Amino acid sequence: MRRGFIILTMVFMVGAAALAQGSSPGQAAPAKPSTTAATSQAAAKPTAIIDTTAGKMTCTLFPDKAPIGVANFIGLSKGTKDWKSPTSGATKHGVPLYDGLIFHRVIPEFMIQGGDPAGTGSGADPVKPFKNEVSPDLLFDKPGRLAYANAGPDTNSSQFFITEVAFTGQQGQMLNGHYTIFGQCDDASVALVKQIAAMSRDSNDRPYRPIKINHITIMRGGPPAAKPATGAAAKKPGAGVTPKAPANPN
């Protein structure tokens, strides 16, 4: 059995500077797609609605960038992909893997991690590990990145993490190219990630009262239209805490 996934030893400083985006001097900016084309392209991407005991997260998936990873996530979410129980060893057919699982690892100003049927981060892989899918134009330069946790190259399985902040410079280099980004969560989801990441936790970054995933719904054609505001105040994320370096996998 492998010790919990993620991530190289590094210190994530609170308030890391945002990565500047722009065209190089003397280089023409790429043409922007028409509004109609851009809207159509966005609508064509599937969306994952991650319903948890703390609220819902809405994440657009990237089948064009990570086809293997997206297919794996959708199959495990819907129960259309078989997986093996880490406790009984029995093969599960037609059973959504993520239902009832917890976010077993949370680190403020970094990420929240879940997707292990054992609930520890060190359970046996429920599905056969698959290769990393990385793109030079898809980086950890914005919060809300949905990516697979791993224990080294090409060891992706079911565990995933969602980032709370953008990572640039040395921090970005430690992540970019090493983890498969297969989705992007919206701003409201990032606010929820901040709440979960700020939960009281033990020395292994496991929350004392972990948040549970109720179910992950996959929508084909984009997220549902936002409902009109009711006037209720939105929940604010907890106060930030100076993070410590994540533990190395053993």
Q: For 45-82, write each residue's pLDDT tens digit.
A: 999 999 999 999 999 999 999 999 999 999 999 999 99
Helix locations, 140-249, DSSP H: 169-175, 187-197
- Is residue 122 within 8 Å of 4, Cβ to Cβ? yes
**Beta pairing class for 111-114 and 213-219:** unpaired
Q: For 139-197, write each residue's pLDDT tens digit.
A: 999 999 999 999 999 999 999 999 999 999 999 999 999 999 999 999 999 999 999 99
Q: Which domains does the chain have, with CATH numbers?
A: 43-219 (2.40.100.10)
Residue 29, pLDDT > 70, answer no
Q: How many residues does the chain have?
A: 250
pLDDT category of residue 7 using cuts at 50, 70 and 90:
very low
Strands (E), 86-201: 91-92, 103-107, 111-114, 145-148, 160-163, 181-185
> Whole-prediction pTM value?
0.76
d(CA 43, CA 12): 34
Cis peptide before 7 (omega within 30 of 0): yes
- Of 201, 163, 209, nearest to 182 by C-alpha is 163
Instruction: Give the count of alpha carbons within 13 A of 79, CB side only.
Output: 9
Averaged pLDDT for residues 207-219: 98
- Of 133, 143, 108, nearest to 237 by C-alpha is 108
